[in-house]
Amino acid sequence: MRVNARKDMEMHETLVRLFRHKASADDELLSALAQLGDDSPISHLATKALSHSYVVDRIFAAHLRRQSHDYASANLTELPALWGYARDLFQTHGFGDNTVFDQIKTHYYVVHSQINPSGIVPRGPELDSWLTPHGRDLL
């Protein structure tokens, strides 16, 4: 067997195990959520987490197939506590002033052509929204 073919087979087997484990974890989470009921505040957050997990799976699968995907952002603004925390971090001296989103995006979406062969780079983020009051001092 060629070295590359063996590595491809090992990678395939690793991915199969990874996705089986993830499916099992998702099933456990869904079973636990079903026991909580719809009125539990945890159900709403867990649904968002599963939705995010699903999107990440689709992006990962598209990258493996060397295809583009239609997902553009993480919808961080829909999670007020997390969005406030992210803005708080970004506004911390030495953090946000050293964060260059264009460089991060270029590195991820352009340099890594093997996982993003289309070279598609999403728009954003708009920096103005990162500088709005985070309100974390009220917590």
The yes/no answer on whether domain 76-139 falls in CATH 3.40.50.300 is no
Average pLDDT score over residue span 52-80: 72
Which of 73, 62, 72, 54 lies closest to 117 in space, CA to CA? 62
Domain ranges in the chain are 1-71, 76-139
Please check the confidence at residue 21 and state whether its pLDDT lies above 80.
yes
pLDDT reported for residue 82: 76
State how far the Cα of 19 lies from the Cα of 12, in Å rounded to an integer. 11
pLDDT reported for residue 71: 66
User: What is the model's pTM?
Assistant: 0.45
pLDDT reported for residue 136: 78
pLDDT reported for residue 104: 79
pLDDT reported for residue 2: 63
